[in-house]
Structure 1
């Protein structure tokens, strides 16, 4: 079975970025009405998991052994890709600027490139290094980190930990599926992750507050469950399922670079739905991010064209970016095999 072309994976990754980016614009009204971040993320994860549950059950019918084989992958997605990363991110923004925290977290693609560089002891191709620099420059312009807050070592450490969690999300998503459907991985990760977040809230380590009142959205008052449903269905269920699917096709490195478009999408949604201003430099940053992705994708496509023989299956070890234990060197690419925030 041949792996789907990169163009298909790229389109699915665009869908993931577009839907993931909706979360901020629709969660912000909940937070402003009195919801705590952990409560909002918990409801988001559980709603998304419940929406995906019938599709996951249909996808795994008769293949429960695949679920059992993938139990550690599901658990890793739940604890790190869903719960851990989001808790660390929200803990970070309680101490440092949101723009600074998200900038640090979305350095995850660079972390993946560096990890492969160190592990394989092979310098990435110039096109990858150029793409990394261009993408980070674009990310800085889009986020425009604030410099009006004092240095907070704990907040920065939490943001760095969230960056590691974001990288691990892509690592887990790009692992060989071994028969586990992407929708099942997303569903299991969201449900277990949501329950883990609820447990964190119950311990009192982070505030857990819910306000079942109307919220302000699009210039009018709407019931609290409207943004919850939008975030749960689109920014969580569809977003996680499509992101995992795209990562299995593209690999962790290219998918993580494409994931930078989530920041661009979030900025556009905030402009359209919340009236937050969009500056020319932010538009330039979005163009630079696209340019960086194009550089990284060009290297990926070049490998596919120059390597002899048919492409391996999406989950085959040869498609991973981290070198296998064989003596044949593998070019640096994705990572080792996502909250997401």
Structure 2
């Protein structure tokens, strides 16, 4: 039985679209926190591989029991979707996170993030080529406005240097990001969102651990205190937030959003992660965004609206049985 979310002070359930947008915004905000939390850890001596491995492993440990519960004994859903779970764990979890942190090692954060977030455009192109879902001119215009907003938010006009190696890593992260939206939106596999998240996080943690054990992934961690907004904080606090909030909750809510909105719209709403990242960098690292960045955030919102307006009009769909699995497992 699905559980509808209700607005405060009202018994009326939110529509499928409203619920999807709520999960998408919360997921984007959670993911957006990761950069500001991880930067001081990397500065303290953590390697990207170690930070990503601990983050993903912690999230897997937390989400796995809920994912198993949501299956309700339907283990055939796992065996029938081993390839999907494997691809999600390797591409959407392990590769996307590791490649982005690797890109940041070779180039500035802004251009690396911009390259990764060409993923929504890649999703539109992929659906066009695979399913013939040719985007309307409104969708294309919305994508263009959102891209312009990203340029302003990331303040690329300041002249960031670009490394070919960094660009290659960022493009690899873009592939993982696009896979995240496409696989998350697949309703036909029957997997509850939280079960897919649990399986993907587990596969991601195991694959990263295997690479580290084989010596192919540098793993180094420290217990040095991290510094946020001028305050020293024990390393385990930001690492715990990275695992619980920016991974466990973010991936689960992101899958739920993609199931309700579809991969195209969900991927564009996820652009709000960039805005969230700017805000968290301001609060935690003291990096105050300028007027251009605020204007860019507004353009991203307008672009998301344009993308939605450009989608074909369809009848309202009744909430899927899996739509309540996140609440039921919580």
Instruction: Bin the TM-score by the shorter chain.
Output: 0.7 to 0.9
Q: State the match for 1:303 in structure 2.
A: 313
Aligned residue among 100, 110, 135 for 2:121: 110
Could you tell me which of 270, 279, 284 is aligned with 2:290? 279
TM-fit CA distance, 1:54: 2.1
- Cα offsets for 1:220-258 (capped at 9, x unmatched): 222211111111111111100000010011111100001
8 Å CA contact 2:16, 2:319 repeated in 1: no
Structural RMSD (CA) = 2.3
How far apart, CA to CA, are the structure 1 residues paired with 2:131 and 2:77? 30
**For residue 11 of structure 2, what is the aligned residue in structure 1?**
none
Could you tell me how far 1:59 is from its partner in structure 2? 1.0
1:92 aligns with 2:83: no
Match of 2:236 in 1: 225
Unaligned runs of 5+ in 1: 317-341
Matches within 5 A, 1:1-341: 5-120=16-131, 123-145=134-156, 147-149=159-161, 151-300=162-311, 303-305=313-315, 311=317
In structure 1, the partner of 2:328 is none
Deviations 1:262-314 (A, max 9, x none): 010011011011111211000001000000001112233x5125xxxx63775
CA contact (8 A) 2:137 2:310 kept: no
Write the deviation string for residues 116-174 of structure 1: whole angstroms up to 9, x where unpaired: 3334556421110110000000011111236342x533332222222122111111111
Q: What's the TM-score, normalizing by structure 1?
A: 0.84
Alpha-carbon separation, structure 1, partners of 2:123 and 2:52? 26
- Structure 1 stretch displaced more, 286-295 or 213-222: 213-222
Q: What is the distance in 2 between the residues matched to 1:201 and 1:129?
A: 42
Give the SS at the match of 2:46: coil
Report if the CA contact (8 A) 2:35-2:277 is conserved: yes
Segments of 5+ residues of structure 2 without an aligned counterpart are 5-14, 323-330
| 1:141–1:284 CA contact under 8 A, matched in 2 | yes
Cα separation, 2, equivalents of 1:237 and 1:113: 27
SS of residue paired to 1:208: coil
- Number of aligned residue pairs: 310
